[in-house]
Amino acid sequence: MDIAVSSIEKVTDAADDLDGIFMLSSEPREGDYAQKSTENEKIRTKIAEVRDEIYSLPTSTISCIEKLKNSTDVVDGTRQIDPFVLSSKPHKGDSAQKSTDNEQGIKKAKGRDEIYYLPLHKAALMGKWEEAKQIIDDDKNAPIAKVTRAGETALHIAVSTGRSIQFVQKLVNLMDKDLLGQPDEEGDTPLHYAAFAGNTEAARILVKKDSKLPQKTNTYGLTPLHSAAENGQRKAVCYLRSVTHDEDPSPFAGKVGVKLLNLLITADLYDIAVDLLKQYPSLALGKDTDGKTAFLTLALKPGAFQSRIQKGYFRSLFNHFFSGTECPSSYPQGGDVENAIGSSEKGLTSPTIVKKMSKHKQALRLLGLLIFETLKGDNASKVRKLLLPPVRLAARLGIHEFVAEVIKAYPQSLWVFDENGMSYFHLAVKYRHENIFSLLCHQMSSRKHFITASLDRFGNNLLHLAGELQPSDKVSGAALQMQRELQWFQEVEKVVQPSYKEMRNREGKTPRMVFTEEHKDLREQGEKWMKDTASSCTVVAALVVTVAFAAAFTVPGGNTSDQGIPIYLNEAAFLIFAISNAFALFSSSTSLLMFLGILTSRYSEYDFLKALPMRMSIGLISLFFSIVSMLVAFGSSLQIVLSHRVNWIWVPISLLACVPVTLFAILQFPLLVEIVSSTFGPGIFRKRNDEIIM
C-alpha cells in the first residue's frame, strides 16, 4: 500500500484514541485538578501526533485538508479521503519518491517556527558543526527548516557569515541537491547569499553539487551574479560570471542584463563591465528594471573620473592607483571551470587577465564603448534620447571627460538644448565647473562664439548665469568664495559679446545687477570672516612685537657695567639671538600692519578679488616667520645662559621649538596655500591640453 495510505491509517488510529479522550474529558468529574491536568496532557499529545502525521502526508493529500479549521475537522476530513485515490496515482520512480520525501520534509519543518530552531540558527551563525549535527540527528528536517522570519535556512545563515567553510561543506553533503536552491521569502537561494557576502568558497561548494544554482532567480528575476555585483564582490563576480550560462531566460539579456551592467558600474567594476558589454553590445541601448540606461548610471558616478577626484596636497599620488583583482578577459562556458577561475584569481601572474588600469581609465574605456555602440544605430532621435540626458547630467556634475568624449564623437549634441534652453556650457557656468568651461575657452574653434551667443528661456546670457550665486564647497571661507565668484564673472566676460555685458534679461537686470544682488549676503559674510581672522592674528602679532622689542634691551647674560656692552657679544649663539630677534620684530610688525589694513578696508566687491587676499596672505606669512624667529631667539638665549653647565641643552630646545612651529604649519598652511594659489597662481581656467575637440 502507498505511503499516503499508511499515513491515513495512522491518522485514523490517532483520531480514534483522540475521540475516546474527548468523550472521557467531556463527562463531569469530581476530584483533584491533577487528574484533569493529566488528561489535558494526553489530549495535547494526541493532537500533536495527528498534526505530525498530517505534515508527513504528500502535498496532494495535504491540499485536501489544509482548509479545515480545527483538529476535529482535520481528523474528520482525513477519514473522508479515499485511500484508493491516494494509492492509485502513477509512480515516477525513485526520483519522484525522493521529491515527494523532500516536500514532506519541508511541510513538516514548516510546522515549527524559528524559536524551535533557534539553537540551529545560533550554531550556523557561529559555525559550530557539532552542535548543528546533534540537532540534525534528532530532526532530519532541520537542514531545510526556516530558522528566521525572513525564511532563511541554516545554509543561508552559514554561507552569509563566512565563519566556517567546513560547516558549509558538511551541511551541503547532508542535503539533497534539489534542496540547495531552497529560497527565502524574497526568492534568494543560499548561492544568492554567498554571492552577496563575497563567500566565493561557499559558492564553489554549492555550484559543485548543483550546477544549475547560478541560473536560479529571485523574486525580482536576479541571479546570484547580480547579488555579487550589487555588493561589489569582485572575486565572487569573477567566479559566478564563469559558471552562469547564457541560457533562456538569459541573465545577460533584456532588462536583467542591463541591470547587471548597471550594478557593475555602480560597484566600480568597470573592467568587468567592459568585458560584458563587448560580449553583449545590445546592453548599451537598453534600460534596466528601474528604467536606467548604462549611460545614465555612468554619468551618476563622478568619482570614477579624474576630474571629479577630490585633490589635496598629495593629489598626484593617487591618480594612477590600480584597483583590486582583474577578471579574465574571457570566460569558459564549459569545461574545467574550477581551473579557469583558479588561474584568474592569481592576479598579475595569470596570462588570461587584462592589463591593470587605473579606475578613471577603465571608466573612460567603458564610456568610449558605450558611445561607440550607441552611435551604431541610424535613428537620430533614439541616439539623442540615449546620449543627451546623461551628458547634461555629467555637465551638471562637472565630469568634463564625459562631456568631451561625447562632443568629439557626436558634435551635433552641442546644439541641442535642454528644456530651459541651456547647453552644456550654460550648465557648466551655472554650476561652476571650470574644467568644462575650459573646454569652451581653450579646446574649441571659433564656433564657440555661436554657443556663447545663445540665451536661455529666461533671457539670460552666460554672464547673467555667472552673476548668480552658487553654493560652493571647493574653497574655505566666505571671502575666498567671493573671490572665486568674481573670478568666474571676469572669465565669462572675456568670452561673451561686448553687448551682452549690459544686456537685460526678462526681469530687466544686467549681469552686474544680478551679481551685486545675488552676492550681497556673501559679501557681508566674507567681510565678517576676514575681520574675525585678522583680529585673531593681530593679537598674536602684537604679542610677538612686544616680546621681541623687550628682548632687544634685556639681552641674555646681561651687559658690562661700565660700557653696557653685552657680556656674550662674541658668542655665536648671541649673534643668532640678535638676528632672529630682529627678524621676529620686523616680520611681526609687517604682519600687524597687514591685518590692520584688512580691518580698515572698505570691503567693496572687487576688494575680495586681489587686495584683501593679498593682505591676508602677506600677514599670515609674516606672522609665521615672526613666530619661528621668536622661538629661535628664545632657544639661542637659553643656549647662551646654560651652555657652560649643560652642553647638550640645545637638543631638547630644538625639539621643543619644533612643536609650535609644526602646529602652526598644520593649522594655518592649508588656508595660506589656498589663498596664495587662488590669488597668485595660474588660475582655475588655465589651458589643460592642446587638443581641439571641435
The pLDDT value given to residue 41: 58
DSSP 53-107: HHHTS-HHHHHHHTT--SHHHHHHHHHTS-HHHHHTSPP--HHHHHHHHHHHHHH
232 sits in the region (left: phi over 0; alpha: psi -120 to 50; else beta) called left
Q: Where are the domains of the chain?
A: 3-89, 378-521, 534-680
Helix or strand run (H / E) with residue 537: helix 520-551
Name the residue with cell 581672522.
533
The pLDDT value given to residue 350: 37
Name the residue with cell 554567498.
194
Tell me the CA distances in angstroms from 142 to 116, 137, 209, 303, one per residue in order. 10, 9, 20, 47
Which among 64, 94, 99 has a CA at the least distance from the CA of 79? 64
Low-confidence ranges of the chain (pLDDT < 70): 1-113, 308-357, 557-564, 566, 568-569, 643, 646, 690, 692, 694
Question: Which residues does 429 contact at the CB level (< 8 Å), separation at least 6?
Answer: 437, 462, 465, 466, 488, 492
- Are residues 244 and 209 in contact, defined by beta-carbon separation less than 8 angstroms? no
The pLDDT value given to residue 78: 45
CA distance 612 to 463: 24
What are the backbone angles phi and psi of residue 196, rounded to the nearest 5°? -65, -35
Tell me the CA distances in angstroms from 282 to 21, 154, 240, 370, 402, one per residue in order. 71, 40, 21, 10, 21
Name the CATH architecture for the domain at 378-521. Alpha Horseshoe (1.25)
Question: Which residues does 143 contact at the CB level (< 8 Å), separation at least 6?
Answer: 136, 153, 154, 155, 171, 174, 175, 179
What are the backbone angles phi and psi of residue 313, rounded to the nearest 5°? -65, -30
SS (H, E, C) 591-634: HHHHHHHHHCCCCCHHHHCCHHHHHHHHHHHHHHHHHHHHHHHH
Which among 114, 117, 107 has a CA at the least distance from the CA of 54? 107
- Are residues 153 and 133 in contact, defined by beta-carbon separation less than 8 angstroms? no
121: helix, coil or strand?
Answer: helix
- Are residues 237 and 306 in contact, defined by beta-carbon separation less than 8 angstroms? no
Task: Please measure the distance between the N-terminal and C-terminal CA atoms of the chain and give it in whole angstroms.
Answer: 85
Q: Please give the torsion angle defined by the CA atoms of residues 245, 246, 250 and 253, in that order, rounded to the nearest 10 degrees.
A: 130
The pLDDT value given to residue 555: 73
The pLDDT value given to residue 344: 40
DSSP 381-440: HHHHHHHHHHHHHHHHHT-HHHHHHHHHH-GGGGG---TTS--HHHHHHHTT-HHHHHHH
123: helix, coil or strand?
Answer: helix
CA distance 435 to 399: 8
CA distance 435 to 395: 10
CA distance 144 to 128: 17
Q: Which residues of 177-201 are buried (b: 16+ CB within 10 A; e: fewer)?
A: eebbbbbbeeebbbbbbbbbbbbbe
CA distance 442 to 434: 12
- Are residues 3 and 60 in contact, defined by beta-carbon separation less than 8 angstroms? no
Instruction: Extract the C-alpha cell encoding 96.
Output: 519522484
Question: Which residues does 598 contact at the CB level (< 8 Å), separation at least 6?
Answer: 530, 531, 533, 534, 612, 615, 616, 619
462: helix, coil or strand?
Answer: helix
